[in-house]
Amino acid sequence: MSVTEPGDGGEESRIDELEERGNSDLLATAPALVRLALTGYVRTLGWGVQVSLRTANGALRMVLSGDGAETLVSGVSTQVREQLRRVLGVTDIEARLSRIPEPHSANGNGKGPEHLATLRERGAELLARSAGVEDYDLTHPAYERILNSLAADEARILRLMIQDGPRAAVDVRTWRPLDVGSELVEPGLTMIGHQAGCRHIDRVPAYVNNLQRLGLIQSSREPLDDLSAYQVLEAQPDVAEAMDRAGRGKTIRRSIVLTPFGKDFCMVCLPLDAGLLAVHHVSNDDP
């Protein structure tokens, strides 16, 4: 077996062979590269000629129609933009830009310094009004908006609570020793919909959530002093069904109460006396 020594030139011959092979591959691909370059050049040249002809044709029509220079320049620039968009494949650029959200500014709401200054001016106006002698705000300014956000059944719930007080509610949980690993099966079960005479009992959970969102009622961990209210509630079918799903379940007694804001809203906005209720009576066929 012969061994090639470092200085005998065998390694150099292999390098030369690889270089020759690479050069031959490059020469083989050269015609394809040339054809690709020529195709791109011809297409670009054709587009330029086409745009020039269309632009000149449109400009000539505008001149013959007697349009002014401003209209002429605007029309030509519009045609050039449209042709460029077709070539680049971005004809729906306006639609795409409209879907891009506005960047958030430093104040976090996407509004600029002018909007922030306007808010401060309104705040200064409120402070000035609060220091005045005359009372401009006879009612809370949010009451009108809240009335527009209430369903008829929600008004019945508020009337019930302002007249008869807080309502009983229970949570159903699985029973575990020392409550370790206890799971919530059904929260906030209540008879408030039946007691208020709501027409859509299935919507009562949504009603309660909306009234809480508006700040008119809140769920309290404190139970009512009237234990009979819970005895009646725990005998209802929906509570019994939740207890069956819990297996060895238990009820956690809670209550639903009006907030101070909700009490004031009811006193200001709801007709609580029988005379006004008779005047504004709605038939059962109305929602």
212-224: burial string, b at 16+ Cβ within 10 Å, e else: bebebbeeeeebb
Using a cut of 0.85, tell me whether the model's pTM lies above it.
Answer: no
pLDDT at 281 over 60: no
H helices of the chain, in order, are: 10-65, 69-88, 93-98, 113-131, 143-148, 152-164, 192-196, 204-213, 227-234, 237-246, 260-269, 274-279
* Mean pLDDT score across all residues of the chain: 76
The predicted structure's pLDDT at residue 236: 94
The predicted structure's pLDDT at residue 30: 59
Residue-wise pLDDT tens digits, 166-218: 999 999 999 888 777 789 999 999 999 999 999 999 999 999 999 999 999 99
Q: CA-CA distance, 213 to 146, in Å (whole number)?
A: 10
Tokens in use for 113?
């310094």
Domain boundaries, the chain: 14-97, 143-276
Residue listed under structure tokens 């029973």: 175
Q: CA-CA distance, 190 to 179, in Å (whole number)?
A: 23
pLDDT at 105 over 70: no
Please answer whether residues 172 and 208 qualify as being in contact, where contact means their C-beta atoms are separated by less than 8 angstroms.
no
Q: CATH for 143-276, among 3.40.1830.10, 3.30.110.190, 3.30.420.40, 3.40.50.620?
A: 3.30.110.190
- pLDDT band at residue 22 using 50, 70 and 90 as cut-offs: low
The CA-based angle 72-89-48, given to 5 degrees, is 50
- pLDDT band at residue 283 using 50, 70 and 90 as cut-offs: very low
